[in-house]
A = this chain, B = another copy of it.
Amino acid sequence: MASKFKPIGDRVLVLPSKEGEVKKGGIIIPDTAKEKPQEGKIVALGTGKTDDNGKKVAFEVRIGDRVVFAKYGGTEIKFDGEEHVILREEDILGVLNN
């Protein structure tokens, strides 16, 4: 499904984890958090950001990474019945290691 969509620039496509999956994974986002982070999986990387010297900047994340991201700033979109989020890499806070 993800192969159906190529993000532009420094954007990535993320498949957010479902409520139940997150609890098993071990992170809990407190209700009191100002800007609630969310967990998900990277399903597509963008064409890449271009730096001031015209060179492409490599992504810090890879397809398949389980990530924590700030929902704010993302754009929700549905592919084949699954809700996805288009984000800038900037809005990914970190990667969860198994």
Give chain A's interface residues, CB within 8 Å of chain B.
3-9, 11, 13, 26-30, 32-35, 37, 44, 46-47, 50-55, 57, 60-61, 67-68, 70, 75-80, 83, 86, 89-90, 92-97
Give chain B residues whose Cβ lies under 8 Å from the Cβ of A11. Answer: 93-94
Cβ of A37 to closest chain B Cβ, rounded Å? 5
A53 with B55, Cβ < 8 A, contacts A7-B94, A75-B35, A77-B37 known: no
Give chain B residues whose Cβ lies under 8 Å from the Cβ of A27. Answer: 77-79
B54 pairs with A57, CB closer than 8 A = yes
Choose among B44, B68, B70 the residue that contacts A5 (Cβ–Cβ < 8 A). Answer: B68
- CA–CA, A2 and B83, complex, Å: 29
